[in-house]
Amino acid sequence: MEEAVADCVAALRAVADRDWEGRSAGRLEWTCRETAVHIAEDLIAYAGRLAGRHTDRYAPFEIALDPGTDNEGALQAIATTGALLAAVVRTTPRAVRAYHPYPFRHANREGFAAMGVAEVLLHTHDISEGLGVAYEPPAELASFALTRIFPHVRPGPTPWQTLLWATGRGELPGREPVTGWRWSNNPVLETERLTLEGVTPAAATDLAVGGDGGFEWVASGPFEGTREGAGITWKQYEEGVFRPEWTMYVLVRREDDRALGAMGFHGAPDDTGRVEIGYDLAEDARGQGYATEALRALTAWALEQDGVRKVAAVVERGNVPSQKVVARAGFTQVAEDDAHLTYELRELPG
């Protein structure tokens, strides 16, 4: 966050002596001056929602610059509100989520940081374009936003080109122009003891290469199946078929915010309305009913979605504990071969 704001302020300070009131900001209807104020408004709004733990509405305040504030003063407002958001992000516990309207009506600290970075980069671009000067931020900042709140966007030639295209501000070879867009924070489901947190492409790639994905794990996790699933998720992102809600979810125990394993879908439902689910628990978390609890919740959610007719699970023939999990969750065996048993649930048990 600090790097994005510093880059914005440095770029715009070089043109602070120009007329921001009389020039439109790129393709926006706002003037360059209004767009600069908007950056500060967004940063303080995100900080307020996250710090105040607002869960169902916007924070009930707004900011305004003092009459007579010049362009340098507007940049000071951006720097100050950016510092406030950065401080809130650093000090907010990982599990806290606050209100954001779409698509799942909440975001965590990383989501708010990514939204803040995106607002800063994109509107700095708009102002620069309106004033006729070039602007390109560090690639890692654009990548930070893309891999956290644009999971549905297939990577392009460079992160910055991709971010501009994804927000209707540029073109990419072989892709149709974007005329409407929204970013997407990760989905979250809750059970009695667990929070199921949808992984972002950033978390998936970190888990796939041996990292923790931004989670605190029990001693024996993450297990091998979780890392394999994360690799599949990252590949889906690279191919442009990642769908935030039909992804891998990390199972987090709420009492201590420890990750226990992962559960998720192999992809979006197919043409017949079938979706396949898989799961993996760290050894420390087995035998306590967590997998059954999570499977019931995720299956119930899936069957409530339009077009979903059945949820399938394919279990190794020798994996008796996993077979018991799907049975307890209401699945019925429908097929088998030499190595696997296939189970399905078509409707929730009464």
Statement: residue 121 has pLDDT above 80: yes
Q: Is 132 exposed, middle or buried (0-12, 13-18, 19+ CB in 10 A)?
A: exposed
Do both 278 and 314 map to the same domain? yes
Determine the pLDDT at residue 349: 57
* Position 178 in a domain: no
Do both 18 and 149 map to the same domain? yes
Do both 152 and 217 map to the same domain? no
* Position 172 in a domain: no
How many domains would you assign to the chain?
2
* Position 171 in a domain: no
Statement: residue 194 has pLDDT above 60: yes
Percent of the chain with pLDDT over 70: 99
Q: What's the rounded Cα separation, in Å, for the pair 192 and 300? A: 14
User: Residue 82 is part of a domain; what is its CATH number?
Assistant: 1.20.120
Do both 147 and 234 map to the same domain? no
Do both 269 and 336 map to the same domain? yes
Question: How many CA atoms does the CB half-sphere of 274 hold within 13 Å?
Answer: 8
Average pLDDT, the chain: 96
Decide if 139 contacts 126 (C-beta within 8 A).
no
Percent of the chain with pLDDT over 90: 98
3-state secondary structure the chain: CHHHHHHHHHHHHCCCCCCCCCCECCCCCCEHHHHHHHHHHHHHHHHHHHHHCCCCCCCCCCCCCCCCCCHHHHHHHHHHHHHHHHHHHHHCCCCCEECCCCCCCCEEHHHHHHHHHHHHHHHHHHHHHHHCCCCCCCHHHHHHHHHHHCCCCCCCCCHHHHHHHHCCCCCCCCCCCCCCCCCCCCCEEECCCEEEEECCHHHHHHHHCCCCCCCEECCCCCCHHHHHHHHHHHHHHHHCCCCHHHCEEEEEECCCCEEEEEEEECCCCCCCCEEEEEEEECHHHCCCCHHHHHHHHHHHHHHCCCCCCEEEEEEECCCHHHHHHHHHCCCEEEEECCCEEEEEECCCCC
Q: Specify the pairing of strand 194-198 against strand 310-316.
A: unpaired
Do both 86 and 7 map to the same domain? yes
Q: What's the rounded Cα separation, in Å, for the pair 75 and 37? A: 9
Mean pLDDT value across residues 110-132: 98
Decide if 36 contacts 71 (C-beta within 8 A).
yes
Statement: residue 231 has pLDDT above 90: yes
Q: What's the rounded Cα separation, in Å, for the pair 23 and 212? A: 46
* Position 148 in a domain: yes
- The region that residue 273 occupies, defined by phi over 0 for left and psi between -120 and 50 for alpha, beta otherwise, is left
Determine the pLDDT at residue 350: 55
* Position 48 in a domain: yes
Q: Which has the minimum average pLDDT: 56-60, 107-111, 196-200?
A: 56-60
Do both 145 and 223 map to the same domain? no
Do both 234 and 154 map to the same domain? no
Statement: residue 37 has pLDDT above 90: yes
Domain limit, last residue, from 135, 166, 197: 166
Q: What's the rounded Cα separation, in Å, for the pair 76 and 90? A: 21
* Cα dihedral 88, 83, 47, 93 in deg (nearest 10): -10
The predicted-structure confidence for 58-70, as pLDDT tens digits, reads as follows 999 999 999 999 9
* Position 98 in a domain: yes
Do both 152 and 273 map to the same domain? no
Describe the crossing of helices 290-303 and 320-328 by its angle, rounded to 10 degrees: 50
Q: What's the rounded Cα separation, in Å, for the pair 59 and 47? A: 9
Do both 28 and 145 map to the same domain? yes
Residues composing the chain: 350
The predicted-structure confidence for 297-311, as pLDDT tens digits, reads as follows 999 999 999 999 999
Determine the pLDDT at residue 102: 86
Do both 192 and 162 map to the same domain? no
Statement: residue 178 has pLDDT above 80: yes
Decide if 141 contacts 117 (C-beta within 8 A).
yes
Domain that holds residue 121: 2-166
Q: Is the peptide bond before 103 cis (omega within 30 degrees of 0)?
A: yes
The predicted-structure confidence for 242-252, as pLDDT tens digits, reads as follows 999 999 999 99
Mean pLDDT value across residues 42-70: 95
Mean pLDDT value across residues 44-48: 97
Domain limit, last residue, from 133, 166, 199: 166
User: Residue 328 is part of a domain; what is its CATH number?
Assistant: 3.40.630.30
**Cα 76-82-83 angle, rounded to 5 deg:** 90
* Position 116 in a domain: yes
Do both 10 and 153 map to the same domain? yes
* Position 138 in a domain: yes
